Structure 1
Amino acid sequence: MTKRAVDRPLATRHAVVTGASSGIGRAIALRLAAEGAGVTAVGRDPQRLASLTGAPGRIIPVQADLTDDVARSALVSRLSSGARVDLLVHSAGAYRRAGHTETAVDDLDVLYATNVRAPYALTMGLLPMLRAGGGDVVVINSTILARTDGDVGLYAATQHAMRSIADSLRVAVNADGVRVCTLHLGRTATPLQAEIFRQEGRPYPAESLLQPEDVADAVVDVVTLSARAEATEIHLRPAEKCY
């Protein structure tokens, strides 16, 4: 059996977490660091990222727009010349809510660039390092795949695309000791979710939704599984269906 990074404790491993400026990505970065992992926390908001500097654990905040080829290549070069990468968590994403007849092609371009192209390109750039250590790739996705409303069709399309990429990547790299898991999340209490509820004209029941920390718990469980085991897909939803 190929030696996997999961045979080593998190304290000996290094993670890259995207979307770490706030919400789910931030919670994942903080939790992995609390468990002892070194974490490169990637996000767009420099002020929010800077606040991670004083957090417990080994967190390196890196401001980068991953849709920018130059910025993304610079990040890959930086990681390749420094700490190794054992874990890659894709949490960055964009969301648009509008019906097909009201949605501009530019909206599709933004969603594709952020939700599909950027994570795919970053994964390909870091894949040699992940293969070298037998790492884990975790893709934060959505339960929107199970039911697509008419006004989120373009967003749902990008989530379907990333699910397909994750599934095909798993087949390609599994023999190298790399595991790939997709986490399909239901409604989670984040600033984006608060805005979605506002757009829907409904009260925001934050306490009844998944919390970012719940997702972070799931990520830790996935990446610390025994080398004999692999989680390929997990669907995580609020227990109370009040929305």
Structure 2
Amino acid sequence: MRDMATHVITGAGSGIGAAVARRLHARGDELVLLARDAGRAKELAAEYPGARTLVGDLADPERLSWAFSHQSLPDRVDSLLHIAGVVDLGPVGELTPKVWQAQLNANLVSPAEITRHFLPQLRLTQGHVLFVNSGAGLNAHAEWSAYAASKHGLKALADSLRHEEKPNGVRVTSVYPGRTASPMQAKVHQQEGKAYDPSRWIDPESVATTILMAIDLPSDAEVNDLTVRPGR
């Protein structure tokens, strides 16, 4: 990858996404940060001087195309980093279609739609699409059905995309972090009725290190699936 690569990032506001954005910004790469609304875009622009922002709400994938058509998309994209996600736990016997749809939209349908919009640029650069998945994308436990289904689907999206885009030189990686210290993890613990101790879980910076390793690999190699687990 060239020195001044351009990265489109979702989820740069907190957790793993913020750790990745900070690292890429610090080394002088160009950032294009997706924000859910104009207010959030303004906050991200202030946090990462020189970064560009795009407004698009992952909760409403059907409107992303309209939103992008009214904004200027970058001409060059070296990597598309899907890091945003939402989680809402509950037993199958209680989850409503609204809860299912919210997680499927943000965690699966929107990443597919955003990828569709940036594939032309990624093909030109022979770039990289990276999906931050989850351990739940490989194994589903009690009360994780909707979230795990969205993440199992994300694995399928990544695997299909890899086969489709290999002739175009686009690399595709899925990263499966275990429990990571983040606002999302705090919410999970609250829903589980457990005390939250961030020191027990993976530091977002450690996941960021694995993500940068994957996208910085020379073009003769590709990381397909990368599982990251708490070391404590």
TM-score scaled to structure 2, two decimals?
Answer: 0.91
For these two proteins, the number of residue pairs brought into alignment is: 231
1:163 aligns with 2:155: yes
Aligned-pair identity (%): 32
1:228 aligns with 220
> Which 10-residue stretch deviates more, 216-225 or 142-151?
142-151
Q: Distance in 2 between matches of 1:79 and 1:235?
A: 35
Q: Distance in 2 between matches of 1:132 and 1:33?
A: 23
> Are the counterparts in 1 of residues 127 and 171 from structure 2 also a CA contact under 8 Å?
yes
1:23 aligns with 2:10: no
1:108 aligns with 100
Cα separation, partners in 2 of 1:57 and 1:178, compared to 1, 3 Å: farther
Give how far 1:71 is off: 3.9
In the TM superposition, what are the counterparts of 1:6-155 in structure 2 within 5 Å? 6=1, 8-9=2-3, 11=4, 13-44=5-36, 47=39, 49-55=41-47, 58-66=50-58, 67-75=60-68, 78-80=71-73, 82-155=74-147
> Which 10-residue stretch deviates more, 180-189 or 211-220?
211-220
The root-mean-square deviation of aligned C-alpha atoms, in Å, is: 1.9
> Are the counterparts in 2 of residues 21 and 42 from structure 1 also a CA contact under 8 Å?
no
Q: Distance in 1 between matches of 2:49 and 2:131?
A: 23
The answer for unaligned runs of 5 or more in structure 1 is 1-5
The answer for unaligned runs of 5 or more in structure 2 is none
1:3 aligns with none
Q: Which amino acid aligns with 2:102?
A: V
> Are the counterparts in 1 of residues 61 and 109 from structure 2 also a CA contact under 8 Å?
no
> Which 10-residue stretch deviates more, 177-186 or 26-35?
26-35
Cα separation, partners in 2 of 1:48 and 1:30, compared to 1, 3 Å: farther
Give how far 1:178 is off: 0.5
TM-score scaled to structure 1, two decimals?
Answer: 0.87
